[in-house]
Amino acid sequence: MKEKLIKKAYRWQPEIATSLIYWSLTFTLFFIALIVQLELIKLNIYSILIGLVFIFFVWLGLRRIIVIEDNDLIIKTILKKNERKIPVQSIKELSVGTYGLTIEQELLNESLLMTPKTLDMFIRDVKAHEQFKGIVKGI
């Protein structure tokens, strides 16, 4: 009898340049809200609105996850239209670094950043997947 795979989610960020730009612009909103609040001394609607926009962009940035399903890796991004499904059997190689990995397929490579703990759990679970036939290079 085939054992049902439990869905697990792993947080990720895109390659370093994109992540740096996204989070810099997001925290710029926070500092603008702080400056507006300090300039006007009393609580005002502008700093509250800018703070809410900042919280919204933090929420969007933290929505990036990879889900391992029965046959696919689903890479969820900020925009739902950019969500990608990668069949586990189509993965040729996982190149692992200290803070990320590259998922290599025939035509497409995905570079992702993860914390070392999340990366270790992700690699362990992908290697244990029954349909994974690729190799793992690196650490």
Q: What angle do CA 106, 111, 114 make, to 5 degrees?
A: 135
Q: Please write the tens of the pLDDT for every residue from 46-104.
A: 999 999 999 999 999 999 999 998 888 999 999 889 899 999 889 999 999 988 999 99
Cα–Cα dist 133/35, whole Å: 53
* Phi, psi angles (nearest 5°) of residue 112: -130, 145
Q: Are strands 65-68 and 100-104 parallel, antiparallel or unpaired?
A: unpaired
CB 29 within 8 A of CB 57: yes
Q: What is the pTM of this model?
A: 0.80
Kindly report the average pLDDT of the chain as a whole number.
Answer: 89
